[in-house]
Amino acid sequence: MNHPNIVRYFDSFEGWYAASLIIPLKILDSGYVYIVMEYCDKGDLYQKINAQKGVLMPESRVLDYFVQLALALKHIHDRMILHRDIKTQNIFLTSEGRVKLGDFGIAKVLNHTLDLARTCIGTPYYLSPEMCENKPYNHKSDIWALGCVLYEMATLKHAFEAGNMKNLVLKIIRGTYPPVPPKYSYELRCLISQLFRRSPRERPSITSILRKPFIMKRISRFLTESQVADEFSHTVLHRGKPTSKVHVPGSPGLENTSVAFGAKRPSVAMNPKQAQLGANKKWKPIDPTVLKNPRRLQSPDNVTPPAVSVAACAGAPEVRRRNEELLVELNRRRQRESMEKQKVSFVGKSNMKRE
């Protein structure tokens, strides 16, 4: 992976090959694989936090570190990779002020974006509630760990601490942690609370985190124009060309960068070709009366298509949303009817046994 906020890999070799290198042979024992990686001369974030000696970091520095870490995490999540061991000891610093995510020793590549991992690994302080409960997990566990790191940068302490593993797990599952110092902005404190939501579904994705205005305006400090285009265009992963445009605040030179980051889709009426394409697609709304007679769904003749036009096509998403709501309600009614039938059948069998 080639990213300015990920520790770069250069080469690897086995110990027996070390005879040709100007390095003491006792360091390069045979039978081991040696990995050559980028050197981060300022140590790791854990050392940086300890060096503060109780003095809180400025919010600007906390956000700069966090944005770079979030950019690295987005890079791997876009490629369906879970880090699974995000912690301050695995976040490295350089003399140029760069933050680099490293140590992918227990990372996992998912086959699909909806895949779930099941192995409970990682550092206890940064484990997510679903991992503590031995449930399947996905990239949202990395988001939880990201929240732990952000909290640690803001308070210089772990969010969840206890005298033993049992109490630590209980605290994590309950999601109880000391409040963030009021020195920091409401946006930062609110972000931490969002990252610490117990339900993985309620936690924001890394892309939605980077879309927040107070985060987004800092991105241009760490990525060039071309890097922004590569990182925030999802079509790059599909070997396509990015089409939409977005302006990253604070960087006048990026308004012409073709990216898909935070950009709103143009309305159908703005593009005649798209409008014609949408007009040819007939959206059929579901008649609400089918809820009273579900069998009517089997007959497409009972669904009357609307008069299609460019103006009406703009309301197609609303029609789809309404259709989805009606289908959900229909499924609920079917489930209730099925449960009632099972209940009646069970009661009937019980009465027969008594007789």
Tokens of 50: 């300890």
* Residue 85 is a catalytic residue: yes
Q: What is the DSSP string of 196-232?
A: T-SSGGGSPPHHHHHTSHHHHTTGGGT--HHHHHHHT
Q: Bridge partners of 12? A: 35
How far apart (Å, rounded) are the C-alpha atoms in residues 192 and 180?
Answer: 9
How far apart (Å, rounded) are the C-alpha atoms in residues 65 and 193?
Answer: 18
Q: What is the DSSP string of 110-134?
A: -SSTT--B----S-GGG--HHHHTT
- Eight-class DSSP state of 180: P
How far apart (Å, rounded) are the C-alpha atoms in residues 25 and 30?
Answer: 9
Q: CA torsion sign, 228 to 189 to 92 to 41?
A: positive
How far apart (Å, rounded) are the C-alpha atoms in residues 276 and 268?
Answer: 9
Catalytic residue among 85, 103, 142, 287: 85
3-state secondary structure at position 172: helix
Where does residue 10 rank: exposed (0-12), middle (13-18), buried (19+ CB within 10 A)? Answer: exposed
CB count in 10 Å sphere of residue 240:
10
Q: Which of 37, 138, 122, 129 is nearest to 87 (CA)?
A: 122
Q: Which residue has the tokens 């209730």?
A: 336
**Residues annotated catalytic, as ranges:** 85
